Structure 1
Amino acid sequence: MGVRFKLSFVFLFYCIFHLPVNAQNKADVTVNFDKKISEMKPIWAWFGYDEPNYTYMKDGQKLLTDISKLSPVPVYVRTHNLLTSGDGTPALKWGSTNVYTEDEKGNPVYNWTIVDRIFDTYIKRGMKPLAQIGFMPEALSTKPQPYQHKWKPGTRYEEILTGWAYPPKDYTKWANLAYEWVKHCVERYGKKEVESWYWEVWNEADGAYWKGTQAEFFKLYDYAADGVKRALPAARIGGANVTGGGSRYLDAFIKHCLLDTNYATGKIGSPLDAVLFHAKGSPKVVNGTVVMNLRTELRNVEANYKVINKYPQLKNIPVIIGEFDPEGCAACGMATNPENAYRNGTMYSSYTAASFARLYQLTDQYNINLLGAVSWSFEFENQPWFAGFRDLATNGVNKPVLNVFKMFGMMSGNRVEATSNQMYPLQTVLDSSIRKPVSDIGVLAAKSQNAATVMIWNYHDEDKKGNIDQVSISLKGLDKKSVIITRYLIDDENSNSYEAWKKMGSPQSPTASQILELEKSSELKSVGKPIKFNLDQGPFQFELSRQGVTLLSIK
């Protein structure tokens, strides 16, 4: 009895002084590098935003440079307001290029200066446009006044809906605008380059952004597609970029493109080189805590995948999720929308990791040719520091979420089989999101010829921290007994400019030295030095806090 007591005391002493503080769960992860699932397609390397004029501004150019370096393939960029009338002065949820005006006789006058400046910024960095043909120029709108809105966060969203949202007064002029634009792009950038882009018509015509009927939108699409194809027959165009809940509208749009009489040509069918739709989550504040909803976003995806799979004519058609986000309004900060408080810290990072991993799973399940999922998150020029917008950087300093995309950029080759006993099954997420008491400690892994990568996140819908969980990874199927492991980490202490900013006292006018410190803290950080690890030792082990994300780079 005395020996048992001594052993129990020794074990208790060990637990108190050697186990991690607040350790709650132990995740057992197994990666089989010799079991290929599919290509590790960089579906994450697509980004978008409302305000096109931010593209060539100081912080916009810096962020685009950072984004362009993330991916082994060209990054695609989508933005609104490329045809909107105005002098190019940006504002929240607004931008303009003034490409189209008319003279006193009603003849079109084209001016490509501003839109060229936008596309030049992309092309210079090896990026490619997902070029949106919209919105309606003032001179073409059936209801041109009022035109430029004065919307601010906290005011009614409907205030943005002005003359740019209406159908054209002349569809032939609309088609010719598309024709002249594509023709100009071919002359400026070359036929081969423009053939590698994607074009799409409008945005969320099933929602607030379109003040015409469904039939009028189909007509808008037909005439725009006709103009694009006349200028460049091999150009790739698609639609309809419906809202997250717009699967029925997408169904009607696909039927029109496949079976209906084309409004522009009088023939059956309309060009459809890609199918596009949106998917959004829906966070809420519950008892003072932000609670995300990954289920809503993924079910948006699933509903549209089901529509696409109804049509055998669309087998293997390229699919682009035109906006793939935790919720709907990038320019609504946390001051007016407290449910958006997740955006500055690591919850946005872990949500992004968990959501893209499930998107890969869902895409496999429905056998969809997904090219990309656009994160509608860029930057907001000259706004308060860490204002809670859905952005990747604030005043030129990258936020923690951008480091998840840096991690994705390090993953290449093929996705391989990886399991975790603490990872929620896909169907559970589709049914009820991540709501059980335990968090989702999930895994995504890839292997190329000379390297392997493993991403692990500790995510929960409920924005609470404190738990530090243990992770044990068995690395199988590698043809070496010894590997070099570099571990990268995003948590409160690593790769996190937001926590560094708060420790400074949350300055809204940081000094030059503070900005340098913030920039340094924003970089993706490795934990310690690379480790030589013998696989015969057993699993590789470490700790990961809730809402943290880590990447193992194995060579």
Structure 2
Amino acid sequence: MLERFGKLADAPYYVRTHFMFCNGNCTGTQKFGSTNIYHEDAHGNPVHDFAYIDLILNTILESGNKPYVELGFMPEDLADPSLRRNPWLGGLDPYRESGWTYPPKDYHRRHDFIRTVAQHLAGRYGSEEVNNWYFELWNEPDIFYWSGSNKDYCTLFDYTEQALHAVLPNARLGSPTCTGIFDQGGGRELMQTFLEHCKTGINDATKETGTRLDFVTFHVKGAEFPRDANATKAVPSVGNLIHQVVSGAEMIKAAGYGGLEIVLLSEADPDTWAAGGINDNANMRFRDTEYYASFVICAYQRIAEIALNYGAPIHPLAWAFIFPQEECFPATRTFATQDIVKPVFRAFDMLSRLGSHALKLSSDGTANPALERKLDADYGKATPHHYSGLGAPTIVSGWAARNDIGQVQVLLYSHCDDIDAHSERTIELQLTGLNPNQRYRMRHWRIDATHSNAHTQWLKEGRPKYPTSEQYDRIKAAEALDMLSPAETIAATSVGTATLRFNMPTHAVSLLTFDLQ
């Protein structure tokens, strides 16, 4: 899967991984991983082993991508032992259950550890290469991933920043990597505390005022689907996700960091629970279908609009995985299942084909924010888990671009939050600024229920959990990016215009390319 992304036209992609610093048996599970990068000998001296860290980073780099290094969590021998009291755990491993979430027993030792990691990265990969990466501290320290206080987290950031930049002064380090910025709640509280600390607080590592911050990161989600075998219908909310982006950008600007890069909405997804699937909550069914593709394209396009208004980059990162040995299409949040590509990956494939020169695109099919707020009772309060999407508008919009050799691309999407809305509408696409009387070769690729959709073929095969060889071949063949119709020639008018008409289902993505003949 990494290689698939690495081969896309706009690679490299940045790849983010949890549990880089944890101790264990060095095999991965859905909710825990380990590298054994750090432990202490019988005399308390640090011992470092970079074997597994190097394997992870090498794999990302060799696939044509770049690491987005999450500096977490706490190595076992660095974790504060005074916090390791969880009587309810019984015979379970207290470190694996929660010890990795603890603050360090000694911030100076944690500082030396981060400095050693930075020295290793600089020596192995070179400072010039590492300066192209992103580094963030921890993951979602406003919830159970962090057992310390907000003040403890700010202290950890101070020591981390000093240690990393002492070795790699041009490395990019960001935070606080909190959960959604809602109208109230832990994510907003931590963001406020952290930004104030970095701007005007006393740096616990240097005792000076303020702490360097290269970018800000937080997470945005469109829904929360808890484990519930009898869940009533619920869907993700594009409007709620976008509200979180706007709220975060406004907070950052108000704190005096307006114009600072927001990387990464370092988890920007329709929902919260990646490892859950359709057997945990039937509402996760959308993840295997064209709905996931249209939701992502719609949300990302609106994030791009916010970035223009904000005046600085806002980069979304899809927090999706691969789960080996799972049954076929179980609706986990993945780009592929049993090595069969899902429609959502084809959406990224389409995005990768857009040229680097933006062209203006306007649409009369955009959403009404007031209507979205009316439909979603949880709007701005929390990640919704009982929003049905009934009555939600169908949004039609997209991007237009041109590449360096003159090809024009138009990427359009149609999306409605209601997964059961299945209508079709006629799209009229008006092109202006073409060469007068010039002929163009047009190609039209499509993602919908019947195009670029291995899931639909899997349904036709009878939903096999583990397809036979022949079934598998037919399902996998359906993963390819499909053309809606054969390539055709269109002619611009004497004033350089052209008008196209075609039908588009409620949940669909189209990519049209135009080459001069």
TM-score, normalising length from structure 1? 0.82
Structure 2 Cα separation of the partners of residues 208 and 432 of structure 1: 31
Alpha-carbon deviations, 1:49-81, whole Å to 9, x = none?
Answer: xxxxxxxxxxxxxx0000112242421111110
Query: Residue 314 of structure 1: CA displacement?
Result: 4.5
Q: Which moved more, 1:281-290 or 1:125-134?
A: 281-290
Q: Of 94, 97, 112, which aligns to 2:32?
A: 94
1:530 counterpart SS class:
strand
Summarize the Cα distance change of 1:438–1:219 in structure 2 as closer, same or farther, 3 Å threshold: closer
Report if the CA contact (8 A) 1:244-1:278 is conserved: yes
AA partner of residue 330 (structure 1): A
Alpha-carbon deviations, 1:323-380, whole Å to 9, x = none?
Answer: 101111101112112221211111111101111111111112222332x211001211
Name stretches of at least 5 consecutive residues in structure 2 with no aligned partner: 182-186, 377-388
Structure 2 Cα separation of the partners of residues 375 and 85 of structure 1: 26
Asked if 1:167 is matched to 2:103, the reply is: yes
Summarize the Cα distance change of 1:484–1:332 in structure 2 as closer, same or farther, 3 Å threshold: same
Asked if 1:464 is matched to 2:402, the reply is: no
1:187 counterpart SS class:
helix
1:101 counterpart SS class:
strand
Summarize the Cα distance change of 1:287–1:208 in structure 2 as closer, same or farther, 3 Å threshold: closer
2:78 corresponds to which residue? 140
Q: Of 427, 444, 457, which aligns to 1:500?
A: 457
1:244 corresponds to which residue? 180
Q: Of 133, 156, 174, which aligns to 1:197?
A: 133
- Equivalent positions of 1:42-61 (< 5 A) are none
2:361 counterpart SS class:
strand
Query: Residue 222 of structure 1: CA displacement?
Result: 1.0
1:529 counterpart SS class:
strand
Query: Residue 428 of structure 1: CA displacement?
Result: 5.3
1:327 counterpart SS class:
coil
Alpha-carbon deviations, 1:382-440, whole Å to 9, x = none?
Answer: 11111111111111111111010001001122332222222225665567577646522
AA partner of residue 158 (structure 2): D
Report if the CA contact (8 A) 1:489-1:551 is conserved: yes
2:499 corresponds to which residue? 539
Structure 2 Cα separation of the partners of residues 383 and 519 of structure 1: 16
Asked if 1:404 is matched to 2:347, the reply is: yes
Structure 2 Cα separation of the partners of residues 171 and 108 of structure 1: 14
Report if the CA contact (8 A) 2:391-2:418 is conserved: no
1:520 corresponds to which residue? 477
1:522 counterpart SS class:
coil
AA partner of residue 268 (structure 1): T
1:422 corresponds to which residue? 365
Alpha-carbon deviations, 1:261-310, whole Å to 9, x = none?
Answer: 11112222212111111111116799954432112111111111001112
- Equivalent positions of 1:100-115 (< 5 A) are 100-115=38-53
AA partner of residue 430 (structure 2): S
Structure 1 Cα separation of the partners of residues 312 and 191 of structure 2: 16
Alpha-carbon deviations, 1:492-526, whole Å to 9, x = none?
Answer: 11111111111111112212333232222111111
- Equivalent positions of 1:265-304 (< 5 A) are 265-282=206-223, 288-304=232-248
Q: Of 123, 141, 153, which aligns to 2:61?
A: 123
2:459 counterpart SS class:
helix
AA partner of residue 453 (structure 1): Q
Asked if 1:329 is matched to 2:273, the reply is: yes
CA RMSD of aligned residues (A): 2.5
AA partner of residue 457 (structure 1): Y
Summarize the Cα distance change of 1:178–1:338 in structure 2 as closer, same or farther, 3 Å threshold: same
Structure 1 Cα separation of the partners of residues 490 and 95 of structure 2: 59
AA partner of residue 456 (structure 1): L
2:308 corresponds to which residue? 364
Q: Which moved more, 1:423-432 or 1:496-505?
A: 423-432
Structure 1 Cα separation of the partners of residues 343 and 333 of structure 2: 12
Asked if 1:509 is matched to 2:466, the reply is: yes
Structure 2 Cα separation of the partners of residues 452 and 430 of structure 1: 36
1:379 corresponds to which residue? 322
Asked if 1:444 is matched to 2:399, the reply is: yes
Alpha-carbon deviations, 1:434-460, whole Å to 9, x = none?
Answer: 764652222322223411111222211
Report if the CA contact (8 A) 2:367-2:393 is conserved: no
Structure 1 Cα separation of the partners of residues 135 and 393 of structure 2: 43
2:431 corresponds to which residue? 475
Q: Of 280, 288, 312, which aligns to 1:344?
A: 288
The percent identity for this pair of structures is 28
Structure 1 Cα separation of the partners of residues 123 and 434 of structure 2: 50
- Equivalent positions of 1:174-185 (< 5 A) are 174-185=110-121
2:301 counterpart SS class:
helix
AA partner of residue 114 (structure 2): A
Summarize the Cα distance change of 1:424–1:490 in structure 2 as closer, same or farther, 3 Å threshold: same
Structure 1 Cα separation of the partners of residues 298 and 123 of structure 2: 42
Name stretches of at least 5 consecutive residues in structure 1 with no aligned partner: 1-62, 151-157
Report if the CA contact (8 A) 2:363-2:396 is conserved: yes
Summarize the Cα distance change of 1:382–1:241 in structure 2 as closer, same or farther, 3 Å threshold: same
TM-score, normalising length from structure 2? 0.88
2:297 counterpart SS class:
helix
Summarize the Cα distance change of 1:260–1:312 in structure 2 as closer, same or farther, 3 Å threshold: closer
